[in-house]
Amino acid sequence: MEEIVFHHALPIQLRFNDVDKFGHVNNTVYFSFYDLGKTEYFASVCPGVDWEKIGIVVVHIEANFVKQIFASDHIAVQTAVSEIGTKSFHLIQRVIDTKTQEVKCVCQSIMVTFDLEKHESMPLTEDWIEAICKFEGKDLRKKKN
């Protein structure tokens, strides 16, 4: 698999309630970090989207927890699109320590564009595809066999 270059990073401020009784960030909290990263990524890469009509939904998500995060750590979530299909795309995210660049967790998601009025999946617009490919610096369209 090709090494992912992350062009988007969002610093995360840890909150008191993110930390559990063991002194580290609870594993369920990571998914809220990833949601924040997705939101900021698409707000900056695809501005002008009418989020009242078009949504992005998670159809698959998995996370690999590599190292603990403690309340005193300084972290950021990095986000990149790795592949674009007709209606879906693959999102790679990771949480890193901003001081050491140590990877704390890696998340892979499959996202689908969703018509919120019709309540069904819809194709990605060419504008979105072009904006994402331009931001990522390469053509990410899924190769057809």
Strands 75-84 and 8-12: antiparallel
What own/partner pairs with CB < 8 Å and gap ≥ 24 does 97-100 have? 97/69, 97/73, 98/11, 98/74, 99/74
Task: Set out the domains of the chain in order of their start, with CATH numbers.
Answer: 6-134 (3.10.129.10)
Taking only the tens place, the pLDDT of each residue in 78-101 is 999 999 999 999 999 999 999 999
Taking only the tens place, the pLDDT of each residue in 50-76 is 888 888 999 999 999 999 999 999 999
Question: Mean pLDDT for the chain?
Answer: 93
